Amino acid sequence: MKASELHDKTPDQLRDELVNLKKESFNLRFQQATGQLENPARLKSVKRDVARVHTVLNQKAAAAAAE
């Protein structure tokens, strides 16, 4: 997921995306704990996507507060 894709979304869509990413992160961690994780690199990418969504949400909140 690219940050430019996230900038086009509304804050509500970003929150929904964040919920989905956190669910996926939980499922991946569960798979890792049980030894069923097929793609360990996906954990890192999901974690970074969560951070990107948080960053864009904070940027949008700061822009709204500045107006």
Count CA within 13 A, CB hemisphere, residue 55. 12
CA distance to 4, 10, 20, 50, 67, per residue, from 60 (Å): 13, 9, 20, 15, 11
- Looking at the predicted structure, is the pLDDT value of residue 1 above 90? no
Give the pTM: 0.90
What per-residue confidence (pLDDT) applies to 37? 94
pLDDT band at 2 (very low <50, low <70, confident <90, very high): confident
6-57 tens-digit pLDDT: 999 999 999 999 999 999 999 999 999 999 999 999 999 999 999 999 999 9
Question: Is residue 67 helix, strand or coil?
Answer: coil
